[in-house]
A and B are shown apart, each in its own frame.
Chain A
Amino acid sequence: MKKLTSVMLVLSMVLTLFVGCNGNDDPSGSVDTSDLYNQVMARFTGELEQGAVVKVLENDTAVELGYVEQLIEAFNEAYKDKGISAERMNIDQYSDLATDGPYGYGPDVWYQANDILMKYADNRHLLPLPVYDMECYDQIPQNAWDAYATDMNGEAFYCGIPLNVQSGMLYYIESMLPDNWETKWDVNSNGTPDFFETYTALYAYSELCKEGGEKTKYGYLDETVDTYFMSGYLMTYGAYIFGDNGADARDIGLASGESYKGARLIQQWAGQMNNTEILDTAFSSAAYQYLANGTMLCTITTPDVSRMFIRAMVSTGNWTEEEAAVDLKMITVPRLPISADLTADNWQDTITNMDELTVEMTMMGGINGYGISAYTDYPNASLAFVEFATSYEQAVLRNEYLGVAPARADAAATISETDATVGILFDRLDRGLISIMPAITEIGQLWTPAESFLIDLSTDPYRAERDEELMYDTEEKIQAGLERLVTQIRDAIETLA
C-alpha cells in the first residue's frame, strides 16, 4: 500500500511537470518571454475577481467635461455580466501613491502623464503590464511605449499603456487674422498664413502688431520661462535632457550641441514681446483671456486646454460656444531659422527657401496613459478596465470630448480625417519630432533650475531698460549659463540620492 502510494505520488508529480511545461508555452507566440517576465505577470491570470470594484483616478479636465462619467458607464454596461464594475475615485488627481497606496487609500487604475506615473514605477508602486498580449500593442509607436519603460534586472517592463500624446501646438483665432493676410502674408500661396509657418515671419508680424493698427495688440505671446515649452528651442539645436534616450541621469545634455543658439532665440522673443507678464508662469492662466479678448494673436500650449480657450471666448460675449469651437484653430508649431537669429533673414526668404533656411522644431511632449497600482486587490479587473479604456472606441471618444490626440495609429487615422491637428501630432510623434519627457525620477530636478535660468535669460532685455547689468549678452555667457544649469541639476540629483 505504501509502495503504491509513493508510486502514485511520483506519477502525479511527473504529470504536473508535463502540464506545467506545456502551460509555459507563450500563448501569443510572437514575443519570447523570459522566466522573470512570466513570474512578474503571474498575477494576470485573466480570471476576473468577482465583485471587484475598480477605483479609477482620472484627470480633472476629463471629469469636468463629462468624459469619465461616460467611460465608467460604458465599462459597467459592458462588464455587467462578468461580475466586475468600476467607479471614479473623487480624490485629488495627483494622488501620492507611495504614501496612500500601502494603506489602501490609493486608486487601482490611474490616468496621468508619463513622468508622474513613472516616478512611482521606479520604486515599484505600479505594476508592470503584460503589454505584448494586449490588442493595442502594435498600434502604438515604440517611442510612446518607451515613455513607460522601466528596467528590472536588465529587462524592460512597461508600467503604463500610452493613450494620448501631448505636445505644444500653436493656437489662434481665425477671425483675429489680419484681413489682408491672403495677399500680404501668403508668399507661397499654400493657404496657411506665413507667420504661422516660420518663426522669422511670426517675429516680423509681431513687430508689426506692436506698431499698432492690427486687430490684436501683440502677435505671439508666450511665457518664455516655461521649461516644458522652451526646451524645444534648446533641443532643436542639439540639446537633450538625459542621455541614452532619457534613461541615463548622469548625462545631462542641456548644454550640448549648439543649444546656446536656441537660448538666444528665447531671449530674442522675450525682448520682442516687451511685456513682463511673460516672465511669470502664471501667464498660462491668463493666456485664455488674452487670446479671447484680442491682446495677442497666437500662443503655444497643449491641445488639452482647448476647452479653456473656448470658455474664455464665450465669456467675452463675442462668440457662442459653437462659433468659438469653429473659430479657434490649432496648427503645428512654426519652423525655426537655421541661422538662429529671428532678424537675420528676410521673412519672405524663409518661406520661399523653407528647407534651406529653416528647420522643423522639436518639442518636448508627454504621453498620458493608464497605470495600475501595485497595491490593488484586483489586478485582473483593473487590467480589463485599462484594456477597455485604451481601446479604439474609447480613444476616439476621448478626442471627441476633450480634443486630445490619441497615441494609437488607427484612432489617429480616423480622427485626422476630420481634424488635421491630431494627424499632425501623431505624425510628429512618429517622426521623433516630439521628444518625450524622460520617465526617470531624476526628471523632477530639472524644472526649477531650468526655470531660474530661463527667467534670468528672459529678463535680460528688461534689465537694459532698467539700467541694470546684463547677464547673458554674449554667446559665451549663455553657454556658461547653460553649463551652470547642468551643474545645478547634477548637484541636485546627487545631493538627494
Chain B
Amino acid sequence: MKKTKLTPRRAADNLFTYLALIGMSVIFLFPCLWLILASLSKTGSLYDFKGFFPQEYSFQTFIDLFNDDVNGLYPYKTWFFNTLYVATCSAFFGTILVLLTGYVMSRFRFQGRNTIKKTTLVLGMFPGFMGMTAIYIIMTQLGLIDKLESLIFYYSATAPLGYMVQKGYFDSIPNTIFEAARLDGATNLQVFTKVTLPLSKSMLVYTVLTQFAWPWSDVLLPKLLLKDRNMWTVAVGLFNLPETHFARFAAGSVFIAIPIVILYFCLVKHIVNGLTAGSVKG
C-alpha cells in the first residue's frame, strides 16, 4: 500500500478536518450532556446551577422518578409502560399496513392508483393538528377518550400515509424476481409474504423503528385524547412537568432517550437504507 506523503497541505487539511469533526461533536453532544448533568442534580431546580453544572450531584431524582409519584401527580412508571404499549401495538399494526400499501402502490397498476397518489400528497400538506378537534369528537363517539387504544387506532390508521418511502424501496427490487415467482405459480399474497418480505429486511427494520419511535415524542394528540394522569404517555407527562421540577424532567427525558438512542445506534445501517429508499436512484 502506497503511503501518502504528509505534505503541509495535507497536514492543514487533516487539522481542519479534525477540528470540524470535534466542533460537530461538541455541538451535538453538549446539550445531551447538560440534560444528563441536570438529571443528576441534587436540588432539582434549574436555578440552583452554577452555570451549566449543578451544585451537588445525586441519583436521588432517578430513584424518585419511579418511587415518588407525588400523590399521583407524576406516575412516571405508568407513563412509561403506557407508551411502551402504544408504541409496540402501533408499530405492529402500522408496519403491516404501510408495508402493504407501499408494496401495492409499487407493484400494481390499477384504476384509482393515481388518485391515491395525489390524495396522499395533498393530505400530507395539511397542518397536522388541524383535524384534532374532529379526532376528539370521533373518539368521543367511539367512546375511546382516555383510553390508549385511541392512540393505537390513530397511529396505525394514519401510518399508510407515509408509504412513499416503502414504495421507493420496493421499486428498487428488480422485476425479474417477482416474475420468476409468479411463473412458479405463486399467488400475489404468497409473492408478498414469501418473496418480498425476506428481501426487505432493512425496510422492515426501518419502518418498525420509525413507527415505534413516534409515540414517544408525540405530545399534542395524546394530550387531547388522554385525560387521566394514569393514562398519559411519557411525552405528555414530561411536557406537563412544571418548571420547578426541572430535574425530574431531565431524568425522565434521559431515561426514555437512552433506549431509543441505543436502538438507533444498533440499527443505523437499516436506517440509512430506509432513508435512501425515499430518494430516487438515478
Contact = CB atoms under 8 A, between A and B. Distances in A.
Interface in B6-60: 42-48
A103 B70 contact: no
Interface in B110-169: 136, 140, 145-146
B71 A289 contact: no
A90 B230 contact: yes
A289 B229 contact: no
A308 B244 CA distance: 9
B45 A315 contact: yes
A99 B133 CA distance: 9
B269 interface: no
A230 B42 CA distance: 34
Q: Is the interface of B mostly helix, strand, loop or mixed?
A: loop
B240 interface: yes
A385 interface: no
Interface in B204-231: 227-230
B72 interface: yes
B73 interface: yes
B134 to A, nearest CB: 12
A380 to B, nearest CB: 25
Size category of the binding interface on chain B: 20 to 34
Interface in A282-298: 282, 285-286, 288-290, 293
Nearest to A277: B47
A63 B229 CA distance: 13
B55 to A, nearest CB: 9
A60 interface: yes
Contact of B72 (A90, A100, A312, A316): A90
B243 interface: yes
A69 interface: yes
A286 B49 CA distance: 11
Given A64-B70, A64-B71, A105-B146, A90 B228 contact: yes
Given A60-B73, A64-B73, A91-B227, A99 B136 contact: yes
B73 A63 contact: yes
B43 A315 contact: yes
Size category of the binding interface on chain A: 20 to 34
A91 B229 contact: yes
Contacts of B242: 60, 285
B48 A289 contact: yes
A105 B227 contact: yes
B243 A285 contact: yes
A308 B72 CA distance: 19
A282 B242 CA distance: 11
A289 B72 contact: no
Given A285-B243, A286-B47, A308-B244, A315 B145 contact: no
A179 interface: no
B47 A289 contact: yes
Contacts of B240: 92
A279 to B, nearest CB: 16
Given A100-B227, A105-B145, A288 B71 contact: no
30 contacts: A63-B70, A64-B71, A66-B71, A68-B71, A89-B228, A90-B72, A90-B229, A90-B230, A91-B228, A92-B229, A92-B240, A99-B136, A105-B140, A105-B146, A105-B227, A282-B243, A285-B45, A285-B46, A285-B47, A285-B242, A286-B46, A288-B47, A289-B43, A289-B47, A289-B48, A308-B244, A312-B43, A312-B45, A315-B45, A315-B48
Interface of B: 42-48, 70-73, 136, 140, 145-146, 227-230, 240, 242-244
